[in-house]
Homo-oligomer: A and B are copies of this chain.
Amino acid sequence: MSTKMNFKIHILGSGSALPTIKRFATAQIFTAYEEPYLIDCGEGTQIQMRRFRIKFGKIKNIFISHLHGDHYFGIFGLLSSYNLLGRTSQLNIFAHKELESLLKSEFSPIIIEELNFKVNFHQLPENETVIFENKRITVKSFPLKHRIKTCGFLFTEKPRQPNIIKEKIQELNLTVPQILDVKAGKDLEIDGILHKNSDLTTPLPALRSYAFCSDTAYSENIIPIIKDVDLLYHEATFSESDASNAEKTFHSTASDAGKIAKQANAKQLVIAHFSSRYPQVDFLLKEAQEHFPNTFVGFDGMEIEM
């Protein structure tokens, strides 16, 4: 896949509520066709973006899964830095209503009205809903199962126009209107002969998708939504031996993550948001892999192409 058609994530923070030097609080850059989208924005996100050389001025859309501090405390510094760097282009923030209320309140850490750029707030809905789309992707939010309102996000590539087989253009002496018809998916009838669209074009690669699920207890409700996803990011805060903690705090164990990936028929699973109690997480990987072998351990700086 060429760079221009890239579809990937770059993990900025793979830690949980207590950030460590190695694992900052949750934040990721999802990139589709060279456009970066920020998912969650824990404390230090702007520093991680510098560390991993993300062109963060290019971000137009920020998705915040929920309002626990380790998923959004970096937004204040990021907005502040955008302002200092002279940003003028609008910024969309998709989040629960309370973030807008905070940022518009009298005592907000950032005075939204004084920024040199406009911030558009988009409230996350309660049910599975497409919340964003452009030429390249759609983004769907869906409810996770956590202590407070929390959303997962599904990023799905939109159908691309097919490429016409060059030889066919010459062979059939196609006109520009005919070419546009073929690109739009139509068959062509020329001199009484039907040329099927699939005979005129190269097959399109399958549409790619990425699902972000943090933070959540084990929830089979999400399986139909993320079905057949290319890459599933699923939190794995706890080990099986700490399953009671997972239950109490509405988080998942690594094996929960593996089970969800398996049932959703995901192609790959990446786990993170590990409790800071675990200095090493190899055993969490093993627990997930018992259910879903194609699992990887997320780390700060990790990039995964789809």
> In the complex, which of the residues B51, B73, B80, B106 contacts A109, with contact meaning CB atoms closer than 8 Å?
B73
Chain B residue numbers with a CB within 8 Å of A110 are: 69
A44 at interface (Cβ–Cβ under 8 A)? yes
- Whether, in the assembled complex, A74 has its beta carbon less than 8 Å from a beta carbon of chain B, the answer is yes
A74→B43 contact, CB < 8 A: yes
Nearest CB in chain B: distance from A44 CB, A: 5
Q: Return the CB mask of A42-79 against B: 1 if under 8 Å, else 0.
A: 01101100110000000000000000011001101100
Which chain B residue has the least Cβ–Cβ distance from A78? B43
- Least CB distance, A56 to chain B, in whole angstroms: 11
A188 contacts the other chain (Cβ, under 8 Å)?
no
What residue of chain B has the Cβ atom nearest to residue A51's Cβ?
B21
A270 CB-CB contact with B under 8 Å: no
A225 CB-CB contact with B under 8 Å:
no
Contact of A84 among B18, B76, B81, B108 (CB under 8 A): B18
Give bound CA distance, A174 to B66, whole Å.
70
User: How many Å from the CB of A42 to the closest CB on chain B?
Assistant: 8
**Residue A101 at the chain B interface, CB threshold 8 Å:** yes
Nearest-neighbour CB distance to chain B for A66, whole angstroms, equals 13
Q: A98-135: contact bitstring with B at CB < 8 Å (1 yes, 0 no)?
A: 10011001111110000000000000000000000000
Of residues 1 to 56 in A, which have CB atoms within 8 Å of B's CB atoms? 17-21, 24-25, 43-44, 46-47, 50-51
A85 at the interface (CB under 8 A from B): yes
Chain B hits for A101, CB < 8 A: 107
Q: Which of B18, B21, B47, B98 contacts A81 (CB 8 A)?
A: B18
B98 in contact with A102 (CB, 8 Å): no
Question: From residue A53, how far is it (CB to closest CB) to chain B in Å?
Answer: 10
- Quick one: which of A43, A50, A51, A70 has the most chain B CB within 10 A? A43
Known contacts A20-B50, A46-B19; A77/B69 CB under 8 A: yes
* Chain B: CB-nearest residue to A104: B107
Output the least CB separation between A104 and chain B (Å): 8
Residue of B nearest to A79 (CB): B69
Q: Are B43 and A24 in contact (CB under 8 A)?
A: no
User: Could you say which residues of chain B place their CB within 8 Å of the CB of A43?
Assistant: 43-44, 46-47, 73-74, 76-77
Known: A19-B77, A21-B51, A73-B80. 10 other contacts (CB 8 A): A24-B47, A43-B43, A43-B77, A69-B76, A69-B80, A70-B80, A102-B107, A102-B109, A105-B105, A109-B109
Binding site for B on A (CB under 8 A): 17-21, 24-25, 43-44, 46-47, 50-51, 69-70, 73-74, 76-77, 80-81, 84-85, 98, 101-102, 105-110
Show 10 A/B contacts (Cβ-Cβ < 8 Å), sorted by A.
A19-B47, A19-B77, A25-B77, A43-B46, A43-B76, A44-B47, A69-B109, A70-B80, A73-B73, A105-B107
